[in-house]
Structure formats: C-alpha cells, structure tokens
Homo-oligomer: A and B are copies of this chain.
C-alpha cells in the first residue's frame, strides 16, 4: 500500500515523462507537486527502494514497468471519477480536477471496476484523455488537436497545449473559451490557416494556434 504522497509522486513522474524520454528531473517534480527539490529526492529514494522507479543520483527518475502500471491505475481512477462527476453529477468539466485528485486515492479495485461498469466503460475522460484499463494498460494516442480535424468536422475545446499568457490572451480576445464548440469551415491553401465557426461568429486562426488547441470530436 502506497501513501498519498508516494502516489502523487508516481503520478507526477508519469505525466512529466510523457514530454521527455530521459529521466524526470527532481526539480520538475518538485515544481509539479508544489514542493521542494530536497523533499523529492527523499521520495525518489523511497520509490526506488520499492522498485517503482529507477533513480540515478543527479540524473532523475524513470518509472519501472511496475511503477508505470501503478501510476496508470491511479490515473484510471482519476479519469473515471471525472466522467462520473460530469456525466452523472452535472459538474462542468473544468470543475472536476480538484475533486478527482482526492477521489483517485480511494482504495478499492472493486469500487473502481463497478464505477467503470456504471459509467458504461467510457474510453475517454471529459478532457479527451484516454482511460487505462483495469490492468493499467493504455494506448497512448496524441491528444486530438483542432488542426487534426477535417473540413466540416466539429470539436469541443477541452484544453490548451502551450498555456503561455500570450496565447491565453489571444484566445480571450477571440472569445474562444473552454468548452465551446468549434467547427472547421475551410482551410486556406497558401498558409493552412483555418476558418472556423464558433457559436455564432466565424473567424480565422493560424495553424500554429490550431495545433495548440486540444479538442474532443463531436
């Protein structure tokens, strides 16, 4: 049985290792968990003791197969609970993260699997992220971006890749807000910029922007 802190470190390492194939640095974990590097170092030693990570001093951590499965089981719970909160309890999909952060630590495989069934075995959470199976297996597919849609298709805007304030202001000015539906109307040939339809307005955005917007197909 892992402690809450151990679980959070594993999860953090999992998420951070998606954007880098070498070891995950102590600092990035500390930053991710709002804690200090020295605290992370201690935890890395502990997780290493438990064969959940490979930890080489000064060179960060990598999940072992066991660690990866363990992380994915927690992530499975997180995402299932998010689906529950949105689909059954009518939460907005941007309100559920904090609550799911708590629920993901509830220990009961039976509960998780019954919840899965109750939700009719969903494959993705409300942010479009895939839900691992009971054994902690997941097919990692790159998240769908607006630029991946074809002409005529519609997606719901569920997240941003680069969340720099410049980009967020850009979205704000254009009234592109989380949760809104975006239809791809047309693509310019010369610069691949997209003409898109929002609720009632149409506008044009660059490929660069479009590939910064995560969406789920509708």
Contact = CB atoms under 8 A, between A and B. Distances in A.
Interface of A: 85, 88-91, 95, 98-99, 102-103, 106-108, 110-111, 114-115, 118
Nearest to A105: B102
Question: What are the 7 A-B residue pairs with the smallest beta carbon separation, nearest first?
Answer: A89-B114, A102-B106, A99-B108, A99-B111, A89-B118, A88-B118, A103-B106
B91 A99 contact: no
Contacts of A110: 91, 95
A76 B38 CA distance: 40
B88 A99 contact: no
A35 B94 CA distance: 40
Report how many copies the assembly holds: 2
Contacts of A99: 106, 108, 111
Chain A interface SS verdict (over half): helix
Contacts of A118: 88-89
A81 B143 CA distance: 33
A110 B102 CA distance: 14
A111 B89 CA distance: 8
Contact of A89 (B85, B91, B103, B115): B115
A84 to B, nearest CB: 10
Contacts of A88: 118
Nearest to A4: B4
Nearest to A115: B89
Nearest to A108: B99
A85 B111 contact: yes
A107 B111 contact: no
A106 to B, nearest CB: 5
18 contacts: A85-B111, A88-B118, A89-B111, A89-B114, A89-B115, A89-B118, A90-B114, A91-B110, A91-B114, A95-B110, A98-B108, A99-B106, A99-B108, A99-B111, A102-B106, A102-B107, A102-B108, A103-B103
